[in-house]
Chains A and B, each alone.
Chain A
């Protein structure tokens, strides 16, 4: 079968883009190979580890099991899109550094994008709820506690509860 392509128009990190994409490509393939967004990691490639997690229209998806052609007309946010206008890192990224929630770093972008969805909701979640919302990721280094703390602290700080955040 000759190669089959489709024009995929979408918004990636706030910028409207379009490219002819091989229909066999996953969204991971498209973001990494066509747009050079390498925060999206190829981990298990079967939707289990969460290293390729991105937001599509505000919801988390494992981009490895999402066909690139389905991104047509959608808004995609990757870790690169969290940066400030001068390339500053976001509060949640700084919290991951401060809490030593990063070791090898391979799972980190995926985790941070799940955290981004949690933080964007503006809600205050219980510890159990945070654990459940972050449960679609595997980290083989940190043991999760530092990651959990980074997310909880950032959530509390965004809600103006700095004293509670410091006590976490």
Chain B
């Protein structure tokens, strides 16, 4: 038995908003692979819960009218990985969430929960940062959409106001069209582990495939929340796809990232792998985009 004070099951998004307003102390539970574990640990014991797990309207991947990819917040990791729209346009996201926990966790864990939990190590988060994802939030005043960088306020805290819940994550067409990306999770084991550092890179090459028209890079566990390295991105933009430019790009990430010492890994080690991951992820992204890397 879980130490739950009361459970309210939402029957629609509007009902969820109503329940959250009626029970301001309540915690939202989606798949529960974070919330239930925290209850077990005692951290969230004795609280009221509003369950949104039954809201099938928040599941699935589709296109918006403007071509943006819409991922319902309750879509599980395994369903994202298998989704044909994801595979065709932003396969790296499917690959990234395929590295969360183990198979059972990927069946219960949701992309909405992964981001609303507000932790820097979330495997989906760095890729969503790297693709300029937009977070859709529904609340008493209606729907608002904000860039994912603004959604994260600080470690463990996201921009959800009273009565609000996250209902979708959107990848704008301009963010994915013409881009290819790669995610690398560095962890101590291949399954059931949290990233020591995660790095997601994507690139848009020129028509002749020799120049990096745009490069975007984001990290998990390189700071208190997932983050981009704007200096490295600016450094690589417009440069040829050469070994030396890739190395220079990778070194530049150290100007932006701010990893810490923790029991999982030392700061120096995280900085070292952050550079190595940037180099490898950009190299693979260029290859996926059809480019060739010159000396």
Contact = CB atoms under 8 A, between A and B. Distances in A.
Nearest to A52: B104
Given A135-B191, A136-B191, A53 B104 contact: yes
B103 A135 contact: yes
B190 A135 contact: yes
A165 interface: no
Nearest to B35: A65
A81 interface: no
Contact of A46 (B3, B40, B103): B40
Contacts of B53: 67, 70
Nearest to B189: A135
A104 interface: no
Contacts of B147: none
A80 interface: no
* 5 A-B pairs closest in CB distance: A136-B102, A135-B191, A23-B7, A136-B104, A62-B104
Interface in A64-96: 65-67, 69-70
Contacts of A25: 1-2
A138 B103 CA distance: 13
A22 B1 contact: yes
A25, A60, A114, A134 — most chain B CB neighbours (10 Å):
A60
Interface in B104-120: 104-105, 107-108
Contacts of A133: 103
A15 interface: no
Contacts of A24: 1-4, 7
Given A45-B40, A46-B37, A67-B7, 16 more contacts: A1-B6, A4-B6, A24-B3, A25-B2, A29-B1, A47-B105, A60-B104, A66-B108, A67-B32, A67-B51, A67-B53, A134-B103, A135-B103, A135-B191, A136-B101, A136-B102
A132 interface: yes
Main secondary structure on B side of the interface with A: mixed
A65 B102 contact: no
A59 B107 contact: yes
8 contacts: A46-B37, A65-B33, A65-B37, A65-B108, A67-B32, A67-B51, A67-B53, A136-B101
Contacts of A47: 33, 36-37, 101, 104-105, 108
Given A46-B40, A136-B191, A69 B104 contact: no
Interface of A: 1, 4, 22-26, 29, 45-48, 50, 53, 59-62, 65-67, 69-70, 114, 132-138
B245 interface: no
B33, B41, B103, B105 — most chain A CB neighbours (10 Å):
B103
Contacts of B29: 67
Given A47-B37, A132-B191, A136-B101, A60 B107 contact: yes
Contacts of B36: 26, 46-47, 65, 67
A96 B4 CA distance: 38
Nearest to B106: A136
B5 interface: yes
Contacts of A59: 78, 107
Given A47-B37, A59-B78, A136-B191, A1 B5 contact: yes
Contacts of A69: 7, 9, 51
A67 B39 CA distance: 12
A161 to B, nearest CB: 24
Interface string B31-51: 011001100110000000001
A48 B1 CA distance: 18
A136 B193 CA distance: 11
A59 B78 CA distance: 10
